[in-house]
Structure 1
Amino acid sequence: MTAQFILLPDAVVTVKLDSKSAVLDMLASLFASTYSLDKDTVLARLTEREQLGSTGFGRGVAIPHARVADVERPVAVFLRLASPVGFDAADDMPVSLVFGLLSPEQAGVVHLHALAAISRLMRDDKMHAALSEAPNDEALYALIANVIDRTAA
């Protein structure tokens, strides 16, 4: 079995943002620069999905996601926010960990499997704490990549 999604080291950053729209804009910028995608298209798709209902997952986590034509397989970005941002999450908690996911336009079950993998990762209490406390972006990437590699084996 292969990993459910691709996550490159450059797609993991700690950043200070002040709103949900700034988070979505940063996600789109990071997807564009890391995976050579069109920022405006990505932002439009993420915003459309968010308008259907918040992707605030609870426990300070959001998983904004969308399907985009220019993606060949699921790709991810990860933001750790320097201070929590309101995200209209079901539990009303602001978010500080944001996992973005883009999948191919026709990726039905593949998209769902990738979302499920991220959801499992973010529900793990030890992982949640480790991501919150990691000293830098390299450590964040190593934590996530280690789990991705384990589940792909």
Structure 2
Amino acid sequence: MYFLDDINRDLLDILQHDGRISYKDLGDRIGLTAPAVAERIRKLEDAGVIKGYRAVVDYEAVGFPILSIIRVNAPMRTAGIDQKIAAIPNVIEANRVTGSDSHVVRARLRRMSDIEELMSDVWEQSDTITNIVTSSPVPRRPMNLRDTNAGRDD
């Protein structure tokens, strides 16, 4: 675990919301110079705390309005299922989980009928239960690291 002081937690909280903010603006918000901010960010990147920067895409805006959550039950054939799920371009996240299911998969769809095509390979080896998200009262969001005491040694 990488130790985070309050300044690093603040840096990470701001960067999670605006990965394109300039070092100068970031420094102004937390009370450091731009070079000091750049050095801290470089150290966080080198330590693997910051894994990358990316654009957040509104999938509805590009024609994928349906978010499906698919619970897969394939406990004996996990490796094959992992590869099949990874090969589906509509899958935006997949996790192996504990409990009665082996995986939970999040996928984006253009229309309801797409679920059959999306999961046809997986259905050959496993059972699934599919839920369609009707709303997201807490959409995927960055975690507030300062409030969670992340990176503290206690």
Question: Whose strand fraction is larger, Structure 1's or Structure 2's?
Answer: 1
- Do both proteins adopt the same fold according to a TM-score greater than 0.5, normalized to the shorter chain? no
TM, length-normalised to structure 1:
0.25
Question: Whose helix fraction is larger, Structure 1's or Structure 2's?
Answer: 1
